[in-house]
């Protein structure tokens, strides 16, 4: 027996979400073509500013109690790409959890500035602290074996021959159609994202193995290592982050007998100072990105603070080779 749809049923039909997350307009369905939001778009380009125009980061104000196993007291953490953006906020999370930190960045001046800001923030928010963390700044090109080796020796010399945690946040992305990607740019992208992760991990592993000490490594991948971002074309970056994710799994197995855990964090779209600057000039791109995220918003850098502390600390002693996706549900839709 046929029943006339109720008003609420009709409303649900009209607002049935497309696969992309956008809603089909009631008045003019022809304006949205099938699959139009599930393709890369060569007209989408993201222009990254020059180094001198890159925005700096500022500390996030948050102090809460937590489980003792999350404490990083007595540990030294090295964070590559820690002078800005996600690396900066994750360095702050490690410091607030008790660790000393070594910020490694291509821009040495920005690394010095970041270390000073984080130290000041700690003192301002913990005026009665018994101990003030040691935060050092270092400059290195993570794509260069010689530079990585030298900077790790420098870090060890300034932190009592001590490294317990490595976070590899150095990386960048670009948008080119695959057939137009300049080969030298692709080599640079792979050099920083993949070679940089590998080289830093190997140097820290050599130290830990020689010292017969356990350690934790957290590689910063991306949801791009599991899915294809749209609408911007970025095939080499996606492949590079897939390599980082699998490198974490492979090294986790290889170094497990030495007590070295290796995990990966794969962030989704994050509103860093740089991303905000880009999206202010591309509001339509932001709308497309957020339309594909089940939580309906882009992530904030501080959304990674708990994740990195968890994987760096003893709270995750039985976790290795894992990929923790922090993406608002993007990759499960």
- The domains of the chain are located at 72-332
Could you say which DSSP state residue 138 is in? E
Q: Please tell me the pTM assigned to this model.
A: 0.81
**Structure tokens that stand for 130 in this block:** 């018994």
d(CA 176, CA 180): 6
Do 204 and 215 form a contact (C-beta atoms < 8 A)?
Answer: yes
What are φ and ψ of residue 108, in 5° steps?
A: -65, -40
**CA atoms within a 13 Å half-sphere pointing along the CA-CB vector of 87:** 30
d(CA 96, CA 166): 16
d(CA 40, CA 231): 4
pLDDT recorded at residue 292: 92
**Architecture per CATH, 72-332:** 3-Layer(aba) Sandwich (3.40)
- pLDDT < 50 regions, the chain: 1-29
User: Which residue is associated with the tokens 């968890």?
Assistant: 310
Q: What is the DSSP string of 156-193?
A: HHHTTS---EEEE---------GGG--HHHHHHHHIII
Catalytically active residues are 222, 237, 241
Q: For residue 111, what are the CA distances in angstroms to 53, 80, 87, 103, 187?
A: 16, 10, 11, 6, 25
């Amino acid at each position: 027996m046929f029943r006339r749809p109720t008003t609420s049923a009709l409303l649900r039909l009209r607002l049935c979400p497309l696969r992309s997350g956008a809603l089909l307009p009631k008045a003019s369905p022809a304006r949205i073509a099938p699959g139009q939001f599930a393709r890369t778009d060569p007209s989408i380009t993201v222009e990254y500013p020059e180094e001198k125009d890159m925005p700096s980061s500022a500390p996030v104000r948050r102090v809460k109690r937590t489980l003792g196993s999350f404490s990083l007291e007595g540990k030294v953490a090295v964070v590559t790409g820690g002078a800005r953006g996600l690396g900066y906020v994750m360095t702050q999370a490690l410091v607030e959890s008790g660790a000393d930190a070594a910020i490694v960045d291509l821009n040495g001046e920005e690394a010095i500035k970041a270390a000073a800001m984080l130290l000041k923030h700690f003192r301002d928010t913990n005026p009665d602290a018994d101990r003030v963390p040691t935060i050092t700044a270092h400059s290195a090109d993570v794509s260069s074996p010689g530079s990585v080796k030298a900077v790790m020796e420098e870090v060890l010399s300034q932190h009592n021959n001590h490294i317990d945690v490595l976070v590899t946040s150095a990386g960048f992305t670009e948008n080119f159609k695959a057939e137009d990607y300049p080969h030298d740019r692709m080599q640079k992208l792979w050099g920083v994202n993949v070679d940089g992760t590998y080289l830093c991990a190997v140097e820290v592993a050599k130290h830990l193995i020689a010292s017969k000490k356990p350690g934790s490594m957290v590689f910063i991948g991306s949801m791009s290592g599991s899915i294809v971002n749209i609408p911007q074309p970025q095939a080499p970056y996606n492949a590079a982050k897939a390599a980082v994710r699998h490198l974490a799994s492979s090294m986790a197995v290889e170094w497990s007998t030495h007590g070295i855990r290796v995990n990966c964090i794969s962030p989704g779209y994050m509103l860093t100072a740089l991303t905000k600057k880009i999206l202010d000039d591309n509001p339509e791109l932001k709308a497309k990105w957020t339309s594909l995220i089940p939580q309906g918003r882009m992530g904030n850098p501080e959304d990674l603070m708990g994740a990195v502390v968890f994987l760096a600390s003893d709270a995750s002693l039985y976790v290795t080779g894992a990929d923790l996706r922090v993406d608002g549900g993007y990759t499960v839709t």
